[in-house]
Amino acid sequence: MLENVNATRMEQLRLKRRVELASRGHRLLSQKRDEISRQLVKVASAIKPLRVRVEKELLETTRRFMMARATMEPEDMRAAIDVPTKKFSLAIKFASIMSVRVPELTKEISGEIMCYGFSSTSGELDVALRALERAFDSLIELGEKEKQAQLLATELMSTRRRVNVLEHVVIPELGETIKYIVSKLGEAERDNTSRLMKIADIIRA
């Protein structure tokens, strides 16, 4: 491959500029990689306690619904939760973390979660529904953080690959090519010097 290189000073200067550009890109990508790693650790550290909280709240919600069902007639339970009047939707906007677009979720809610009369229902059902609300808030937050972590991890792997290619392939290959050109130029210069000396000898003779 090196034999096909145009061993000229112009090509040498062009390759040196490429090395400078690749080195600058390597430095910037390394900084980006390090910052993404820091942000990923930050997001990941928030996920574990959040997941514990979600599991605890879901367990509490399940326990409360079981207690409500134990203290109510089945038909009253069905009637109480059969026609919900509370509606929600998720609004998604995007933030940027080191040029990575990550989602931020916010809920939009209308109506009331307790949409039944209190004469035929248990107070445990009220508590269960409020627990469900809290668990749902935590679930949204957990989903947001896990998606952010996934996107950051994907970008981190991509950035690491680019850094490694520049560090271990592109820059070393350019360096070897420049060395080859320098060597060829040196050979050509020595040949020219040798020819000039022979010409000088002939002239003197």
| Contact criterion met (CB below 8 Å) for 119 and 146 | no
Neighbours of 118 (CB within 10 A): 11
Burial of 204 (0-12, 13-18, 19+ CB in 10 A): exposed
Range 2-194 has CATH code 1.10.287.3240: yes
What's the pLDDT at 74?
79
What tens digit of pLDDT does each residue of 11-25 get? Answer: 989 999 999 999 999
Mean of pLDDT values over 26-36: 95
Confidence of residue 118 (pLDDT cuts 50, 70, 90): low
Residue 151, Cα to own-chain centre: how many angstroms?
A: 4
What tens digit of pLDDT does each residue of 86-96 get? Answer: 677 888 888 88
| Contact criterion met (CB below 8 Å) for 163 and 34 | no
DSSP for 132-150 reads HHHHHHHHHHHHHHHHHHH
Q: pTM for the complete prediction?
A: 0.75
Mean of pLDDT values over 28-51: 94
DSSP secondary-structure letter at 73?
-
Structure tokens at 30: 């390394």
Domain limits of the chain? 2-194
pLDDT at 167 over 80: yes
| Contact criterion met (CB below 8 Å) for 152 and 36 | yes
Confidence of residue 165 (pLDDT cuts 50, 70, 90): very high
- Range of lowest pLDDT (83-92, 135-144, 185-194): 83-92
What's the pLDDT at 33?
95
